[in-house]
Structure 1
């Protein structure tokens, strides 16, 4: 008997996403519309909707649905937005945001995952999968009204913040000095980027980011 993934999506919404402060109906509808099982290895399709990060390749994961949903909600996407999704792996977050934004540039560094993302995203309108250095972003199509980093990082590099226009926003899970993950919201106003902490979040690290050496006084 085939698995009932439609029921699994509804259970994800009602059991994970709605109870965790995700109230935007457009975000809920996007998560309901996109088949998460299509973005994981076939052998893991049965656990695609668990409340955990799901491995899709060595060292790479789909972010936990609740955390991803809250990050996407903070971006308040509209059809006027061009979005950069950084480190998309197989492309699930890009597909979700394509339901709400005007267009999505899905950046991935791993060639095998680029191919997997293109396959999984076939038929999803408005998404372009590109290969490149994650920390560098994709300046060729900048600026982006919204940027999402699809995994935790030790810091958000200036190269990504520089690809925001005035009023642009970025969300990411950043590992703080204590080694804990903080979901953060960044916004550029008056040419200056500031941020605020949204909530605590434990998600898997995204390769390709390194913390700069800093002097401690």
Structure 2
């Protein structure tokens, strides 16, 4: 399989056709080999336009969703970004081509180790993988200019919103039970965090961020 051709076709047919025009985002999607950030048995489907299951309840998020959220974040070359749910590292890798530094938090020890080794082997020197509880983010290096969740959530924890800098942007797909998910942009302005909805995106939940079970009487 010619991954370079597949990657170019992904950008042309999935990214550009879904309202992504930011040249930095498009260049990042063209550059980063998605197949490197998947388990070996999944590499043949690296460029399909869907979320790819990678084990342990985790998914590699659909490239179009990543690209549209990055464009909405208006990432600057000087920005420091946080990824909640590094997985095997693809979202962090794409962000690293646009932002100055990326911190990627991962709770799965094996995934964190593989992502770190992949970053090192392919000279993604501005990405740091941290093993830890996803729901806690990584306050030690906060505040962040950009925070991206690599999966859907029922709601965004307040403690992660607290890790946004002034002017910071948080991108996440929020899914209420039984409803279609929506990509949402949170922004901190004058110390207050507000949000607006961007587009529909029905991606899987990030483990640990599912809706709380409710009892029916």
Question: Match of 1:166, SS?
Answer: strand
Deviations 1:48-87, CA, capped at 9 Å, x for gaps: 0000101222211110011111011111111210000110
Q: Which runs of 4+ in 1 moved over 6 A?
A: none
For the aligned residue pairs, the C-alpha RMSD in angstroms reads 1.4
- What are the residue-to-residue correspondences of 1:9-158 with 2, within 5 Å? 9-122=7-120, 123-158=123-158
CA distance in 1, matches of 2:40, 2:175: 31
CA distance in 1, matches of 2:32, 2:110: 22
1:211 Cα deviation from its structure 2 partner: 4.6
CA distance in 2, matches of 1:41, 1:178: 30
CA distance in 2, matches of 1:64, 1:213: 27
CA distance in 2, matches of 1:213, 1:89: 25
CA distance in 1, matches of 2:119, 2:56: 21
Unaligned runs of 5+ in 1: none
User: Which residue of structure 1 lines up, in the alignment, with residue 182 of structure 2?
Assistant: 182
CA distance in 1, matches of 2:212, 2:166: 26
CA contact (8 A) 1:133 1:208 kept: no
CA distance in 1, matches of 2:211, 2:50: 26
CA contact (8 A) 2:81 2:101 kept: yes
**Number of equivalenced pairs:** 212
User: Which residue of structure 1 lines up, in the alignment, with residue 202 of structure 2?
Assistant: 202
Question: Match of 1:167, SS?
Answer: strand
1:213 Cα deviation from its structure 2 partner: 8.9
1:209 Cα deviation from its structure 2 partner: 2.1
CA distance in 2, matches of 1:211, 1:10: 37
- What are the residue-to-residue correspondences of 1:164-183 with 2, within 5 Å? 164-176=164-176, 178-183=178-183
CA contact (8 A) 1:52 1:63 kept: yes
1:179 Cα deviation from its structure 2 partner: 2.5
